[in-house]
Amino acid sequence: MKSKRVRLFIKSYCPWCHKAERWLKDHAVRYQAIDVISDEAAFAEMIRLSGQELAPVIEVDGRILADFGPEQLAEFWSRLENEDAHPAAR
């Protein structure tokens, strides 16, 4: 899969966020974790991108998945890999 810009908006106390980080690490995905509790601008950006205040929110090259668990993240990542393999399918 081609290199992607991956940003994960998290809340430090959020167990779903910890699961998302663990999934990304287990799959050797390089990502930037952004704690929206300690950064008001990041919180505002997360809301702008996702339309909600719930975390986690992941942005991968402009594509957004919001308020998800590991199963939804795996499906989202699979779709991204499929799009990379078949660019005309976008």
CA atoms within 13 A on the CB side of 48: 8
Residue 1 belongs to a domain = no
The predicted pLDDT at position 45 comes to: 97
Residue 42 belongs to a domain = yes
The CATH code of the domain that includes 49 is 3.40.30.10
Range of the domain at 45: 6-89
Cβ atoms of 57 and 9 closer than 8 Å: yes
Backbone angles phi, psi at 63, to 5 degrees: -95, 140
Q: Where is pLDDT greater, at 42 or 84?
A: 42
Domain count, the chain: 1
The predicted pLDDT at position 84 comes to: 76
Q: What is the mean pLDDT of the chain?
A: 92
pTM score, two decimals? Answer: 0.89
Residue 66 belongs to a domain = yes
